[in-house]
């Protein structure tokens, strides 16, 4: 009888521990703190990067001038075939109405510009190409299974860095704490948002949980 009670208690304890582990929140680092190798590219993909192009109000860009953001790789670009890398640097972006990889640039001297992004890749056969939609860039990561990839999904969707995350049956629940003090970009204040991100990198749900409008003073451009 005592043995049966002890066995039952052990089972309850294991179940409790499993629940606590499942409910545990893990702190996230800012996206720029993760190394390129802390992402899991799909098999056959050697290199992936996002290029950002400054745009005017009509989304016109200089296709030769860009900034490289968050290169992800199995093999660094400077270790790949030189002929391939030279050709890779000359690929022009595809900007269309479907292009949704956009980030607002930092406001300076009273002016705020939109930046438009494209994803570019090289595979293990030396073939290369571009993508202008978020879903296609995320598709090159396969299953979202690292903290770095969670932050990358948020960044591609124009969200702030996540603060904490935990794994759930549908994917990941992410808490996002940030401050907005520029009135041109929406409401000013201190925010806590929550995102539900699937294993395929889709944001299933996004909502604001807390909002303090008195935390900061607004700046207007």
Please report the DSSP string for 26-74 in residue order. Answer: EEPPPGGGS-GGGS-PPTTEEEEEEEEEEE-TT--B-TT--EEEEEEES
Structure tokens at 174: 């992410």
The separation between CA 102 and the C-alpha centre of its own chain, rounded to angstroms, equals 12
Output the tens digit of pLDDT for each of the chain's 221 residues: 555 544 545 544 544 444 444 469 999 999 999 999 899 999 999 999 999 999 877 778 899 999 999 999 999 999 999 999 999 999 999 988 889 998 776 666 666 678 899 999 999 999 999 999 999 999 999 999 999 999 999 999 999 999 999 999 999 999 999 998 877 677 899 999 999 999 999 999 999 999 999 888 887 76
| CA atoms within 13 A of residue 67's CA, in its CB half-sphere | 11
Residue 111: phi and psi, rounded to 5, are -130, 140
The pLDDT assigned to 182 comes to 79
Q: Distance (Å, rounded) from C-alpha 45 to C-alpha 117?
A: 20
The pLDDT assigned to 202 comes to 97
HEC letters along 61-106: ECCCCCEEEEEEECCCHHHCCHHHHHHHHCCCCCCCCCCCEEEECC
Domain ranges of the chain: 27-34+142-221, 43-140
Q: Distance (Å, rounded) from C-alpha 43 to C-alpha 161?
A: 27
The pLDDT assigned to 16 comes to 46
The pLDDT assigned to 19 comes to 43
Q: Distance (Å, rounded) from C-alpha 28 to C-alpha 9?
A: 35
| CA atoms within 13 A of residue 186's CA, in its CB half-sphere | 8
């Amino acid at each position: 009888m005592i043995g049966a009670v002890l066995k039952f208690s052990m089972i309850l304890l294991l179940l409790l521990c499993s629940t606590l582990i499942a409910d545990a929140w893990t702190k996230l680092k800012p996206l720029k703190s993760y190394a390129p190798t802390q992402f899991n590219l799909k098999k056959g993909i050697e290199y992936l990067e996002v290029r950002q192009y400054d745009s005017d109000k009509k989304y016109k860009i200089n296709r030769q001038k860009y900034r490289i953001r968050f290169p992800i790789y199995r093999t660094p670009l400077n270790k790949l075939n030189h002929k391939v890398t030279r050709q890779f640097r000359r690929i022009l972006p595809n900007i269309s109405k479907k292009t949704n990889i956009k980030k607002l640039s930092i406001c300076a001297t009273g002016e705020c510009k939109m930046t438009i992004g494209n994803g570019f890749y090289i595979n293990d056969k030396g073939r290369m190409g571009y993508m202008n939609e978020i879903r296609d860039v995320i598709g090159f990561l396969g299953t979202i299974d690292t903290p770095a990839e969670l932050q990358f999904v948020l960044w591609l969707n124009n969200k702030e860095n996540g603060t904490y995350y935990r794994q759930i049956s549908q994917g990941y629940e992410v808490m996002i704490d940030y401050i907005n003090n520029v009135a041109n970009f929406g409401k000013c204040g201190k925010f806590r948002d929550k995102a539900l991100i699937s294993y395929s990198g889709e944001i299933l749900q996004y909502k604001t949980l807390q909002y303090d409008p008195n935390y900061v003073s607004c700046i207007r451009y």
